[in-house]
């Protein structure tokens, strides 16, 4: 059974930093792209970042490029999202999602989400 | 960026009804479109990918169609568990984008 589990969400002050983790199991981890998608309170879904199976290729939303960094450790079946220079508008539930295929175009397994709150 | 506009924003329907949700892209995305279902407090669930392919384990009452800029999701015979918010997502080009969602409510 595929499982995806996020952790690391917390209350952080504006300008602060935070690292989210996403532990995955039940599939050949290195074969699939992984993504982060966020949802602000009461709002819709926003794609944040995608990382290829090898970790060599990454993509970011304009809203986070230069502030967020996605990475993965295939030996630990874990994806990370390093977030810095956090803003109030980054407040959201952050979901980690498995790509349906190597290209990661669609997301077929999601974690339960981890809440990031940016506030003083 | 490709903008996805979903309509209607919300709709009311009864169990057994058939409903069609639409998603319009600001530019052509070929068939690179997915539909997700989300219930309050839970993660989204992939229903349809590549515009018309049913994800494994999803009931056949869900179907998708369309290409380029106009897409639709049809639920034939609404069931109680189908009342939720539905999002479309384009995967034609980065940045991937989602529509704003259509909330299907019980009449």
Beta strands in B1-107 (DSSP E): 4-7, 10-13, 18-25, 33-38, 45-49, 53-54, 62-67, 70-76, 85-90, 97-98, 102-106
Q: Examine the pLDDT at A102 and tell me if it is beyond 90.
A: no
Contact B91 A44 (CB under 8 A): no
Assess whether pLDDT exceeds 90 at residue A49: yes
Over residues B62-74, the pLDDT tens digits come to: 999 999 999 999 9
By the 10 Å C-beta count (0-12 exposed, 13-18 middle, 19+ buried), A27 is classed as: middle
Query: For position A104, what pLDDT does the model report?
Result: 86
Please list every residue in chain B whose beta carbon sits closer than 8 Å to the beta carbon of residue A111. 43
pLDDT at B58: 98
> Which of B29, B35, B40, B91 should one mutate to test binding to chain A, selecting the residue with the greatest count of A CBs within 10 A?
B91
B95 shares contact with chain A (CB less than 8 Å): yes
**Whole-number pLDDT of residue B89:** 98
Instruction: Say whether A100 and B101 touch across the interface (CB within 8 A).
Output: no
- Averaged over B47-62, what is the pLDDT? 98
Chain A residue nearest residue B42, CA to CA: A112
- CB-based contact A100 B49, cutoff 8 Å: yes
Chain A interface residues (partner B, CB cutoff 8 A): 35, 37, 44-47, 50, 59-62, 95, 100, 105-108, 110-113
| Of residues B46, B50, B95, nearest to A107 (C-beta) | B46
Residues 6+ apart with CB under 8 A from A45: A37, A38, A39, B36, B38, B44, B87, B89, B98, B101
């Amino acid at each position: 059974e595929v499982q995806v589990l996020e952790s690391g969400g917390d209350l952080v002050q504006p300008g602060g930093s935070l690292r989210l983790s996403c532990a995955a199991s039940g599939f050949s981890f290195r074969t699939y792209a992984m993504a982060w998608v966020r949802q602000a309170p009461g709002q819709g879904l926003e794609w944040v970042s995608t990382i290829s199976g090898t970790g060599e290729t990454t993509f970011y939303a304009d809203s986070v490029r230069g502030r967020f960094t996605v990475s993965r450790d295939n030996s630990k079946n874990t994806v990370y999202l390093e977030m810095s220079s956090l803003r109030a508008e980054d407040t959201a539930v952050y979901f980690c999602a498995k790509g349906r295929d190597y290209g990661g175009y669609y997301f077929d397994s999601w974690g339960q989400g981890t809440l990031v709150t940016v506030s003083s | 960026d490709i903008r996805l506009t979903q309509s209607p924003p919300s709709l009311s329907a009864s169990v057994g009804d058939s409903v069609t949700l639409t998603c319009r892209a600001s530019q052509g995305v070929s068939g690179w479109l997915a539909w997700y279902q989300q219930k309050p407090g839970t993660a989204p669930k992939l229903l349809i990918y590549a515009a018309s392919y049913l994800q494994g384990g999803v009931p056949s009452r869900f179907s998708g169609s369309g290409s380029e800029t106009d897409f639709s999701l049809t639920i034939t015979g609404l069931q109680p568990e189908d009342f939720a918010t539905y999002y479309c997502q384009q995967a034609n080009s980065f940045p991937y984008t989602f529509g704003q969602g259509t909330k299907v409510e019980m009449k």
